[in-house]
Amino acid sequence: MGASGVERLLSAIAEQALHHGARAGLNALVEAAVGLTGTSGAALHEQELRIALRGQEPPESARAHPWQRFHEGRAVLVLGEPCRDPLLRQHLSRLTVLGDALLASLAREDAGRAEQKRLRQERLRLVEQLAARERAWSRAAHDLRTPLLVLQGYVEMMMKGMAGELSPPMKRYLERMRQSAGDLNTRLQRRQRGDGPPAVDGRPLLSAAFGPGRPCAARLELPEEPMRVRAPRMTLGLMVRALERLLTGAGASETVMRVDLPEGAQQWRLRVQAQVVRPPLPRAQASLERLARRAEGQVSVVQEDTGLELTVLLPRLPE
């Protein structure tokens, strides 16, 4: 094989590693070594640890003939039989150099997978911790609301004069007690439903995702007043990202995005009209619908030929 053939072979191995991972590239490298020399087998080692094998297992690296063993950095390529052709040995040395680079890439991939596994475990731990905290809060809220309702009932009866005539100072004190008890009950109900603090304006989130210069840019028609949605900022941000993935996956173009507040309605309406080259990905649509339900909203998707119309209804947070 000439120099150009070796270059093509190295490029093919690198392409395999790029698309399927460093381990696939190492397997392709060892297979190329066997095909290049016609040996009975070949193995690639990282120091003393065997990483890839093709054909019959060659002798151990320490006992191999110098013409069977090619060492570059951390990579050691061992053939089943000695290679006596000087030109082939040069080609095998170049393969071993590539093998050393792929071993470094494999180490990075393994470290990345280990980090992903650690992050998944940490996320599951945090989710369980949050769920336990929510359960504890729910029990505490229930224990607080029961005597609070009794207290409110007695205050109402006293305000109505059922316990006798009240002096003006007593009425003021009871009114303060009634207001404080009512406020606390409202806060407990809101917290039990999962309502957090009022959401921020949703318009900056849409502008950041679909404004000019963005990969999924759209013609935005946003209201002048703040788009206050009764949902946490994180949920609203995830919805915008899910909508962006849905439109990108469908190959959307000529996108028009309009937000309005229908007369008499207590819901914001986000209407998206676009030309698409393929139907929206079911996974992206399911993710958007799941997030909308979490925010007590609704999603509807209608597609006719290449036209897509998507509507998202979200509960409006009153001023």
Got the DSSP string for 108-121? HHHHHHHHHHHHHH
User: Is there a domain that residue 119 lies in?
Assistant: no
Does 98 lie in the same domain as 32? yes
Residue 21, class by beta-carbon neighbours within 10 Å (0-12 exposed, 13-18 middle, 19+ buried)? middle
CATH number, position 248: 3.30.565.10
Same domain? 104 vs 11: yes
In our burial notation (b when 16+ CB lie closer than 10 A, e otherwise), range 113-128 reads eeeeeeeeeeeeeeee
Q: Which amino acid is at 215?
A: P
Q: What is the DSSP string of 128-170?
A: HHHHHHHHHHHHHHHHHHHHHHHHHHHHHHHHTTTTS---HHH
- Domain contains 121: no
Query: Residue 230's closest CA among 206, 194, 257, 254?
Result: 194
The answer to whether residues 76 and 51 belong to one domain is yes
Residue 196 near residue 295, CB atoms below 8 Å? no
Cα distance between residue 173 and residue 288, in whole Å:
50
Residue ending a domain, choose from 193, 218, 240: 193
Burial group, residue 310, by CB count within 10 angstroms (0-12, 13-18, 19+)? buried
Which sign, positive or negative, has the C-alpha torsion 80, 83, 84, 85?
A: positive
Taking phi over 0 as left and psi of -120 to 50 as alpha, with beta for the rest, 109 belongs to alpha
272 near 288, Cβ under 8 Å?
Answer: no
Residue 76: its pLDDT value, please? 93
Residue 122: inside a domain: no
Looking at the fold, whether 208 and 289 belong to one and the same domain comes out as: yes
Burial (CB < 10 A; 0-12, 13-18, 19+), residue 234, is: exposed
Bridge partners, 298 (sequence order): 313
Same domain, 208 and 311: yes
CATH assignment of the domain containing 63? 3.30.450.40
Same domain, 210 and 289: yes
Which pLDDT belongs to residue 193?
Answer: 55
| 120 within a domain of the structure (yes/no) | no
Q: What is the pLDDT of residue 197?
A: 47
- Tally of domains within the chain: 3
- The alpha carbon dihedral of 122, 124, 125, 127 has a sign of positive
Q: Are 101 and 72 in contact (CB under 8 A)?
A: no
Alpha carbon separation from 271 to 107, 259, 274 (Å, rounded): 47, 6, 10
C-alpha 31/C-alpha 215 separation (Å) is 41
Determine, yes or no, domain membership for 238.
yes
Q: Are residues 185 and 207 in the same domain?
A: no
- Considering the domain architecture, whether residues 254 and 150 belong to the same structural domain is answered as no
* Of 139, 160, 193, the domain-final residue: 193
Contact between 213 and 245 (Cβ < 8 Å): no
Per-residue pLDDT for the chain (319 aa), expressed as one digit of tens each? 677 888 899 999 999 999 899 999 999 999 999 998 999 999 999 988 999 999 999 988 888 888 999 999 999 999 999 998 899 999 999 999 999 999 999 999 999 999 999 998 998 888 888 878 877 877 887 788 788 888 888 888 888 888 888 888 888 888 888 888 877 777 776 665 554 545 568 889 999 999 888 888 999 999 888 888 877 778 888 899 999 999 999 999 999 999 998 877 788 899 999 999 999 999 999 999 998 888 888 999 998 888 999 999 988 876 6
Are 156 and 245 part of one and the same domain?
Answer: no
pLDDT of residue 186: 74
In 160-254, which ranges are continuous DSSP H helix?
Answer: 168-193, 203-210, 233-249
In this structure, what are the phi and psi dihedrals at residue 256, rounded to the nearest 5 degrees? -120, 130
Longest dimension (CA), the chain: 115
Give the Å distances, CA to CA, from 113 to 119, 183, 196, 313: 10, 49, 35, 39
Which structural domain range is residue 145 located in?
Answer: 127-193
Same domain, 17 and 102: yes
Could you tell me if 214 and 297 lie in one domain? yes
Domain final position from 61, 91, 113: 113
One domain for residues 92 and 155: no
